[in-house]
Amino acid sequence: MRLIGDALLNFLKCLVYIFVPLGGVLLGALLGVNVLINAIPQNVSALVHDVGEILPEVKAQANELLAYLITAIRSLDWSDVGMAIRTMLSPQWLSALFAEFFRLSEAAAAELTTQLSVAISMFIFNVIRTLIVAGVAVGVGILLGYFVTGAFVRSRTIRRGWKKSLLNSLVDTVLSSTLISFVVWFMALLNPGAVASTIVTVLLYGFVGLIEAYCLFGQGKLPFFAVVNLKNCLLLLVAEVLIYVTTIYLIVFVAILAGKLVALAVGLSIALIALFVINLNAEYYVVMLVKKWETSARLRIPKWRKLSPKRYDNGGWL
């Protein structure tokens, strides 16, 4: 039960770093919004220029057309970002805007759509490229928050040097590959249900985590089966479930207090911390177990035996 208590305690203690991943998320969001604010008007301006090249009479109304298109884009329902973007990238919607601006009949609007198909396609391509760049900016912010958060969480729980990090990567690669192969073989051979497959996979994942932790911190200090056993795997599973449940409750609580957008940013931060703590649960347990065994060993040795250069055995000096 100590494994579960330590896991939950570590998770709650590491929540003090919630603003670290949140800062990365907000930084990425600011970079992405900055890209959109600067690039979208340029894309619209390029569209107006292309339309002016195809229809020379448009050049006299270029500024009015540019303002009209930007106003139309701003008037979309941006509370549903996905729908707004799909609408903005719809050739039919853009063609309807041009037809409305020039007050064209249905036949003239269809002819105009044909003439402007290349310009509209280029505008859509430029907007998609802008969205990709904005998404990359957001991803960079999230990755920055991820790595900095990982460093803080490790400093509060388990520290390991580059040698142990390299060893962990090698052991994790071998064991994970073996685990994936076994799960695929197990599912192909026995064809179990989804629930059974999930339980087996999670338990095996616990075994892998305990074996990695033993190789890093317990080898030569603890008996192997004192660390890697079914009881500890089940306790790890329970600890993970409790951390996930706690995370969900915290996100729902934030959503009730501050709304969905804030809950999305804060929830992502809490989820990152939860994942780091879950990944370190087995290592933390082994380190604490090693300390406990070493303390017990020291307590069993009398102080006079530690200090004496002679050896005492069976009640007499040798």
pLDDT digits (tens, 9 = 90+) for 175-211: 555 555 555 555 566 565 555 666 666 666 777 778 8
Residue 271 confidence (pLDDT) above 80: yes
Distance CA 10, CA 167 (A): 24
Cα torsion through 74, 79, 83, 88, rounded to 10 = 10
Q: Given this model, what pLDDT does residue 307 score? A: 41
Distance CA 118, CA 202 (A): 52
* Each residue's pLDDT tens digit, 146-172: 888 877 887 777 666 656 555 555 655
User: Length of the chain, please?
Assistant: 318
Best CA proximity match to 87, nearest among 76, 75, 97: 76
Residue 317 confidence (pLDDT) above 60: no
Structural contact between residues 122 and 50, judged by C-beta atoms closer than 8 angstroms: yes
- Tell how many helices (H) and how many strands (E) occur in the chain: 13, 2
Q: What kind and span of H or E run contains 88?
A: helix 81-88
Q: Report, as an integer, the average pLDDT of 229-239.
A: 85
* Each residue's pLDDT tens digit, 219-228: 878 888 888 8
Amino acid at site 296? S
Global pTM exceeds 0.75: no
Structural contact between residues 286 and 232, judged by C-beta atoms closer than 8 angstroms: no
Q: Given this model, what pLDDT does residue 314 score? A: 43
Q: Given this model, what pLDDT does residue 223 score? A: 84
Average pLDDT taken over every residue of the chain: 76
Structural contact between residues 21 and 149, judged by C-beta atoms closer than 8 angstroms: yes
Which positions ≥6 away from 106 have C-beta within 8 Å? 99
Question: What backbone phi and psi angles, to 5 degrees, belong to 301?
Answer: -95, 120
* Each residue's pLDDT tens digit, 58-97: 667 777 877 888 888 888 887 777 888 888 878 888 778 8
Q: Report, as an integer, the average pLDDT of 91-107.
A: 77
Distance CA 31, CA 139 (A): 10
Residue 301 confidence (pLDDT) above 70: no
Q: Given this model, what pLDDT does residue 305 score? A: 45
Which positions ≥6 away from 238 have C-beta within 8 Å? 4
Domain boundaries, given as residue ranges, for the chain: 17-156, 160-299
Residue 243 confidence (pLDDT) above 80: yes
Q: Given this model, what pLDDT does residue 144 score? A: 85
Q: What kind and span of H or E run contains 9?
A: helix 2-14
Q: Report, as an integer, the average pLDDT of 209-235.
A: 82
For helices 117-156 and 2-14, the axis angle rounded to 10 degrees is 120
Residue 232 confidence (pLDDT) above 70: yes
Which CA distances in Å does 109 have to 98, 149, 285?
Answer: 8, 55, 70
Q: Higher pLDDT residue, 64 or 53? A: 64
Q: Given this model, what pLDDT does residue 70 score? A: 83
